Structure 1
Amino acid sequence: MIQKLGAVAALMLSGAHGLTGKRGLCYNNDNPSKDAVFANLYKGMDKVTWAYDWGYPSWGLDSSLEFVPMLWGLPSDNGSGWKAAANAPGVVNVLGFNEPDLTYSASSNIPPEKAAKGWLNYIQPLAGGSVRIGAPNVLWNNVDSSSGGDYDTAQWTEYFLAACTGCHFDFAAIHYYQDCVTPDGQNGAVWFKGNVTDAHEVLDLPIWVTEFECYGDEAQQIAFLEEALPWLDEQDYVERYAYFGTFPEYLINKDGTALSALGQAYATI
């Protein structure tokens, strides 16, 4: 069993310092204009206050949204670009490695000991400064969740923490992907709430759900959000969350010109 992060990694909790609101966006610049055009469709939506793009820079994210840079994986250079992004004016939170516990092509797929060394080199130097540090973004999809490889998520996290001696984290970052309605008819929102609760109990840190989605049609996803979002907003230990994702046929309509019905629901529930 994973020991609580507070006991393993010499963590200092800093509460909600530097937070502007819970609801956020995950986006990229994979669009004709090669910028944050889809995320910027949320400008003026009061409940949506922050965004990240799995890296840096922000690709022109509107200044009304707080940009949160991420060190997606181990840099191939000396990390100077990351250091500049993490110390840029207005940056108050940073995100660590993206799905280092998983092995598929879109994950950073970093063995725990190597991830710990990289963390101490590139992220730990930020501790004690003006930014809050999020632990690696791991999948938290029920017990033994994994896309393959040598470790399930719980094992990866345990080994990483054991190797990351003296590492500092202000919050834990998790991902969740499951059906809106399970094959045997169970409510996916109930499963989701159970997983977020479990992550907090195991990791003993404030939680950011930096990616989550239920698999289903648009009506099923809206029903999921109608139950999940008010619950997330009510949990003091949930600091932030971002539904996947700010792309056409997800939170953006097929033409890429406006929010989809799902996107409108995410902005207003």
Structure 2
Amino acid sequence: MLWSAASDLTSIWSGNLQRAITSYGADSVLSFNEPDGCCWSCGNSCMNVSSAVSAYKQWVQPLAGKVKLGAPAVTNGVGEGVGISYMSYFMGNCTGCQVDFIPIHWYGSVLDPGSFEAYVQSFYTKFNKPIWITEFGTTSGTDAQIVAFLKQALPWLDSQSYVQRYAYFMDSNTGAPYLLNPNNTMNDIGVEYNSG
């Protein structure tokens, strides 16, 4: 992933990418982490659409035909200029860009798995491209509620032909809502995700 177009990242991008392709068989690249958010401690790259388009054309588009290219991974923010709105602007303005898949992020309530499903479907309906959910997780809920959410969400994700990849966020050993206990064994959430 090219997290952003910051010079300390772009200066090592080509070398790191070539090494990933040659040494590890990488066949896809991700561009820009949550450019629609501007919370540095949250990991957002905070890029307006025109900056993201320009950087994509300079650093990602030249890789077309060598690896699969992923659009920026947006948040599930709701409103003008975030989430699917940001992606619409990006896709509409990145003329001549090859985008092979759409990476998305989602964090929400375990009590409403239907909103997760609707969110994922909305991106496929809008862009008609394979979906990679590179981060999804919960913002609340007990261990049992998170496990119940995963029991519904994972089979649904697996049944969607357009969902090519998904990853629960994250495998930290700090307990719920993550996948590991402090002693690095899987908690109930981790066991359910691993078996899903």
- The alignment covers a number of residue pairs equal to 186
2:37 is aligned to 102
TM-score for both structures, normalised by structure 2: 0.88
> 1:175 offset after TM fit, Å?
0.7
Query: Which structure's relative contact order is higher, taking Cα pairs within 8 Å and 6+ residues apart?
Result: 1
In the alignment, structure 1 residue 190 sits paired with structure 2 residue 190: no
> 1:81 offset after TM fit, Å?
1.9
Mark the runs of 5 or more structure 2 residues left unpaired by the alignment: none
- Paired residue type of 2:181: N
Question: Is this contact kept in 2: 1:211–1:243, CA < 8 A?
Answer: yes
Deviations 1:89-113 (A, max 9, x none): 2111111110001122220010000
Question: Is this contact kept in 2: 1:170–1:206, CA < 8 A?
Answer: yes
Question: Is this contact kept in 2: 1:133–1:171, CA < 8 A?
Answer: yes
1:152 is aligned to 82
Mark the runs of 5 or more structure 1 residues left unpaired by the alignment: 1-69, 182-187
2:74 is aligned to 138
Output the CA distance in 1 between the equivalents of 2:47 and 2:7: 13
1:246 is aligned to 171
TM-score for both structures, normalised by structure 1: 0.65
Output the CA distance in 2 between the equivalents of 1:97 and 1:264: 31
- Aligned-pair Cα RMSD in Å: 1.7
- Paired residue type of 2:143: E
> 1:167 offset after TM fit, Å?
0.8
1:124 is aligned to 61
Output the CA distance in 1 between the equivalents of 2:37 and 2:9: 24
Greater helix share, structure number: 2
Output the CA distance in 2 between the equivalents of 1:154 and 1:176: 11
In the alignment, structure 1 residue 259 sits paired with structure 2 residue 186: yes
> 1:77 offset after TM fit, Å?
4.1
> 1:84 offset after TM fit, Å?
2.2
Output the CA distance in 2 between the equivalents of 1:238 and 1:222: 21
